[in-house]
């Protein structure tokens, strides 16, 4: 049978190791490494037919405006389209499309075209996601 002091000692030692390890792991990221964050979803609004399906080929991206909302679209496959706010989460600059990513020209933030996640640069938060879908031969977005 072990004495209470030994159990307490082991507990405190294990706690110190856990806290120390957490500190080391958080330090590994450094100040320039973005932490993954879930994209916020724009809520409410009405569905709007935005583009003919033939105007956004599979693998392509496009910048569009609907009801004064600047959007970035990406069609990842025959049946999937993604829509995000074109407003950078760092300082509100207009994000544009590039062949393999969304990029902010102001400070170099890079965003994933399928998730909106910030992948590089000073932006740490993802772009706001808008519900989007393919209906028949058109792309619809809820804004």
Whether 76 is covered by a domain: the verdict is yes
Token output for 28: 């590994």
Per the structure, the count of domains in the chain is 1
Residue 65 resides in a domain:
yes
Query: Does residue 63 form part of some domain?
Result: yes
Residue-level pLDDT at 38 = 56
Q: What is the CATH number of the domain that holds 118?
A: 2.102.10.10
Residue 12 located in a structural domain:
no
pLDDT tens for 17-63 read 333 333 333 333 444 444 445 556 666 789 999 999 999 999 999 99
CA 91 – CA 134 distance, rounded (Å): 31
CA distances, 26 to each of 19, 20, 33, 34, 134 (Å): 11, 10, 10, 12, 41
Residue 35: burial class (beta carbons within 10 Å; 0-12, 13-18, 19+): exposed
Within-domain flag for 20: no
Residues 71-95 have a mean pLDDT of: 97
User: What pLDDT, on a 0 to 100 scale, did the predictor assign at position 18?
Assistant: 37
Residue 32 lies in a domain: no
Nearest CA to 124 out of 100, 141, 99, 107 is that of 107
Task: Specify the pLDDT at position 136.
Answer: 96
pTM (two decimals): 0.72
Tell whether 136 is covered by a domain.
yes
Predicted pLDDT of residue 30: 42
Evaluate if residue 71 carries a pLDDT over 90.
yes
Q: Is the pLDDT confidence value at 64 over 80?
A: yes
pLDDT (tens digit per residue) in 89-115: 999 999 999 999 999 999 999 999 999
- Domain boundaries, position 133: 47-142
| Higher local confidence (pLDDT), 65 or 30 | 65
Q: Are 132 and 49 in contact (CB under 8 A)?
A: no
């Amino acid at each position: 049978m072990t004495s209470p002091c030994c159990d307490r000692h082991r507990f405190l030692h294990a706690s110190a190791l856990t806290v120390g390890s957490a500190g080391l792991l958080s330090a590994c990221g450094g100040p320039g490494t973005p932490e993954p964050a879930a994209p916020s979803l724009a809520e409410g609004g009405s569905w709007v037919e935005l583009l003919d399906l033939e105007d956004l080929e599979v693998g392509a991206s496009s910048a569009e405006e609907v009801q004064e909302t600047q959007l970035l679209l990406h069609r990842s496959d025959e049946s999937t389209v993604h829509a995000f706010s074109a407003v950078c989460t760092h300082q509100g600059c207009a994000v544009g499309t590039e062949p393999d990513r969304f990029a902010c020209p102001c400070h170099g933030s890079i965003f994933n075209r399928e998730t909106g996640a910030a992948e590089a640069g000073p932006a740490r938060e993802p772009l706001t996601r808008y519900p989007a879908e393919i209906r028949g031969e058109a792309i619809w977005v809820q804004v």
